[in-house]
Amino acid sequence: MKTILVVDDDAAIREMIRMALESNDYAVLEAGDTIAARRHLDTGEPDIILLDWMLPGQSGYEFTRTLRSKPTSNSTPVIMLTARDTEEEKIAALEAGADDYISKPFS
């Protein structure tokens, strides 16, 4: 079973994503900020990370840069989930190391 780490400060969004993923046979880990996400990463690497850009404390953008700087997590795919959807912001997310970008709202 593939494991997906969902990092978003909005509990309702995390729940919606978790329900959709679990109904398709994925294991889901949830984190409301990058501190909680790091705790999950300390216990093992997920197969993919769905990461909100705007988080309390450290942004998803900065967290992605941190992930890419570490040998243990630099190859874990990261998909940014965010309401920031200008061309410049998409480019910034990809340059930070995100593998893809999904604009909110989404269904």
Q: How far is CA 98 from CA 26, 58, 75, 103, in A?
A: 21, 16, 10, 13
- pLDDT band at 72, cuts 50/70/90? confident
Q: pLDDT tens for residues 1-41? A: 999 999 999 999 999 999 999 999 999 999 999 999 999 99
Cα separation of 31 and 107, whole Å? 20
Lookup: tokens for 97 = 């190391």
Q: What would the mean pLDDT of 85-105 be, rounded to a whole number?
A: 84
